[in-house]
Chain A
């Protein structure tokens, strides 16, 4: 299984600021996925990050709000820009097993926007 480390694990942010979440994997992976879990809700896919190309965003998510970097096969960042209280969520990074099919998840970054 892959070990995924996310930083920060939690943060309290002020409205209008931006925060970058880091995701580090202990092995090389092709695809990395960023999910959002709003309070009491399910997981919603924000975007798919492929190394060497621009991230692919799901409907309702845009690059200006959630810019993503994927500089190599073990690391990605998600920035939540110009935050509002509605952005208060857990943001999770996930990667696919090298054997395909199973997704592993980081422990999530819990953001609270005041």
Chain B
């Protein structure tokens, strides 16, 4: 069975601090996708990244970076120099790597960034 664990329920930081959101997953599939979504207070889900299980290269996009480690089944998300606008709930998710497969979501981590 597939499972996504986000052990950090809530994180509070002060602006400009770096913060890492942890994500650990379980799957029996050899091919799968991992995702991160952001849900700001307004409620919409914002897609951040999708990673294929065959691609373990870390990715950086502006202040965001992702560390995928298959050996530890982790897909962690780091925000560098956090800003108040980063305050949101962040969800890690997993799906089989075939068309028409739904996502399995973790419970989410609420990030609060204060000025």
* Set of chain B residues within 8 Å of A104, measured between Cβ atoms: 47
**A14 interfacial contact with B, CB 8 Å:** no
A41 touches B107 (CB 8 A): yes
- Give bound CA distance, A105 to B104, whole Å: 14
B residues 29-59 near A (Cβ < 8 Å) are 33, 35, 37, 43-45, 47, 50, 52
Size class of the contact patch on chain B: 20 to 34
- Give bound CA distance, A41 to B110, whole Å: 11
CB < 8 Å: which of A48, A100, A102, A108 contacts B102?
A48
- Give bound CA distance, A42 to B108, whole Å: 6
A96 touches B100 (CB 8 A): yes
* Set of chain B residues within 8 Å of A50, measured between Cβ atoms: 100
**B60 interfacial contact with A, CB 8 Å:** no
* Set of chain B residues within 8 Å of A33, measured between Cβ atoms: 102-103
Residues 58-95 of B, flagged 1 when their CB comes within 8 A of A and 0 if not, give: 00000000000000000000000000000000010001
Residues 72-108 of A, flagged 1 when their CB comes within 8 A of B and 0 if not, give: 0000000000000000001010101000111111011
A30 touches B100 (CB 8 A): yes
**B25 interfacial contact with A, CB 8 Å:** no
The interface residues of chain A, by DSSP majority, are classed as: strand
Residues 25-43 of A, flagged 1 when their CB comes within 8 A of B and 0 if not, give: 0000011010000000111
Top 9 A-B pairs, shortest CB-CB distance: A105-B45, A31-B100, A43-B105, A42-B107, A42-B105, A45-B102, A33-B102, A107-B44, A100-B99
Residues of B within 8 A of A (CB): 33, 35, 37, 43-45, 47, 50, 52, 91, 95, 97, 99-100, 102-108
Other A-B pairs beyond A33-B102, A43-B105, A103-B47, 18, CB < 8 Å: A31-B99, A33-B103, A42-B106, A42-B107, A43-B91, A45-B102, A45-B104, A48-B102, A50-B100, A90-B43, A92-B45, A94-B102, A101-B33, A101-B97, A102-B50, A108-B43, A108-B45, A110-B43
